[in-house]
Amino acid sequence: MAQVFKVAVLPGDGIGPEVMAEALRVLDAVEAKYDVTFERTHANVGGAGIDNEGKALPDTTVTICKAADAILFGSVGGPKWESLPPDEQPERGALLPLRKIFGLYANLRPAIIFPSLTGASSLKEEVIAGGFNVLVIRELTGGIYFAQPKGIEGEGRDRVGFDTMRYSVPEIERITHVAFQAARKRGKKVCSIDKANVLSSSVLWREVVTGIAKEYPDVELSHMYVDNAAMQLVRWPKQFDVILCENMFGDILSDEAAMLTGSLGMLPSASLAEGTFGMYEPSGGSAPDIAGQGIANPIAQILSMGMMLKFSFGMVDAADAIDNAVATVLDQGFRTRDIYQQKEGEKLVNTKEMGDAIIAAL
Ligand SMILES: NC(=O)c1ccc[n+]([C@@H]2O[C@H](COP(=O)([O-])OP(=O)(O)OC[C@H]3O[C@@H](n4cnc5c(N)ncnc54)[C@H](O)[C@@H]3O)[C@@H](O)[C@H]2O)c1
Ligand SMILES: CC(C)[C@H](C(=O)O)[C@@H](O)C(=O)O
Ligand SMILES: [Mg+2]
């Protein structure tokens, strides 16, 4: 009997449904190739939740996610919902609550430059020659995103807006273990990012990370201030292996790392809870500037789906096959507009044609 995995499919807004459609077609191909069934249930989230069911994270969506083995998430947000009260908007009303409800504290964002895409990177060829492979590990359920108090108080020009940056020892410990365990399986280096010259939460972060590192003598630990890290990433990205960050620093540095690989449309992500449950989503957003045109790059969504196969379903071979199929189509010259260089041998394709090429390569 074929194994059955339950997937909650949340396409969301903007390019979300466009790139999700391609990821699901690739999932069909995986189903046909391996002895496995993916039972998929679609649900509204973000602006789609607001428009169809009256709120960004409808109760039915939470129920569907709870019944699933993993969540495949597109992206949420857009100008249409930006004037709603902040807590009702797609990001604060759906994406952040999903992360909290399901305890998705470990966000893995691998920024890998495919050899045939070095020309699409914003860096000079000599800086990235030979490629690079950085894994950003971002704490996802703590820090300034979630800690209380936060809000806006007062009247008129006397108003103040405030957020709280706060980390507990257990929160720092568990994400640090994720980083060191990941580093063990790859380049054996962790660079922990903080702002310990200014922030108390960072002083504690550095102390706890240093303590945990003693349990991993085979992994080299370094510390770097976040401003320097932002600079070092563009100066010499190959110095990094695993980058360990708190929530907001990881948000910023992962977009930066993505662009080094050519496009935000290339960067997948896995948001993991304890155990095997996870939510898989591209690192980029709903891209309102290109939504509805069928030109978005589906690769981040497809690679995120591959991460789901690996981390939630243990299907390492299938995940590798997807990574290889993506590398193959890039070698063959297929390019969506965001990674198109107008070079000889490149074929400009739309979202669906990129999906077709990846399925053919698979
Ligand atoms: N996980 C999420 O759901 C998520 C993540 C980031 C931003 N957002 C939301 O998305 C909306 C737009 O935000 P933004 O413009 O700051 O960021 P964005 O990531 O949506 O877009 C930034 C730039 O990257 C490009 N881009 C992103 N993904 C692409 C892809 N797959 N193919 C080709 N180009 C791609 C866009 O066209 C745009 O020029 C906002 O509402 C924001 O809150 C959602
Ligand atoms: C949309 C937003 C809330 C989200 C974040 O800041 O975490 C996004 O930028 C991301 O990187 O997943
Ligand atoms: Mg972000």
Q: What is the ipTM of this complex?
A: 0.97
Total Cβ atoms within 10 A of residue 298: 28
| Cα gap 194→227, rounded to integer Å | 9
Query: Does residue 94 have a pLDDT over 80?
Result: yes
> Across all residues in the chain, what is the average pLDDT?
96
| Cα gap 193→341, rounded to integer Å | 33
325-330 own/partner pairs: CB under 8 Å, 24+ apart: 325/358, 325/359, 325/361, 325/362, 326/114, 326/299, 326/302, 326/358, 326/361, 327/114, 327/115, 327/116, 328/361, 329/354, 329/357, 329/358, 329/361, 330/114, 330/116, 330/117
Model-level pTM? Answer: 0.96
Query: Does residue 259 have a pLDDT over 90?
Result: no
**Ligand with the closest atom to the CA of 262:** 1
- What is the signed CA dihedral for 356, 10, 319, 181, rounded to 10 degrees? 150
Of 115-129, 242-256, 270-284, give the lowest mean pLDDT range.
115-129
For residues 173-183, average pLDDT: 98
pLDDT tens-digit map of 108-160: 999 998 888 888 888 888 888 888 899 999 999 999 999 999 999 999 999 99
Which helix (DSSP H) or strand (DSSP E) does residue 63 occupy?
Answer: helix 59-66
Domains located in the chain, CATH noted: 1-108+263-361 (3.40.718.10), 118-262 (3.40.718.10)
User: Residue 94: left (phi > 0), alpha (psi -120 to 50), or beta?
Assistant: alpha
- Residue 286's pLDDT is 97
Cβ burial of 130 (10 Å; 0-12, 13-18, 19+) is exposed
Residues facing residue 133 across a β-bridge: 112
For residues 219-234, average pLDDT: 97
Ligand 2 pocket list (CB less than 6 A): 77, 91, 95, 251, 283, 285
Model confidence at 2, in pLDDT bands (50, 70, 90)?
Answer: confident
Active site residue 241: no
Pocket probe mutation, ligand 1, options 10, 88, 264, max atoms within 8 Å of Cβ: 264
For 207, the token pair is 């102390």
Spatial CB neighbours of 210, under 8 Å, sequence gap ≥ 6: 221, 223
Q: Is ligand 1 within 6 A of the CB of residue 75?
A: yes
**180 vs 129, which has greater pLDDT?**
180
- Residue 7's pLDDT is 98
pLDDT tens-digit map of 23-76: 999 999 999 999 999 999 999 999 999 999 999 999 999 999 999 999 999 999
- Residue 130's pLDDT is 80
**Ligand 1: residue whose CA is nearest its atom 4:** 285
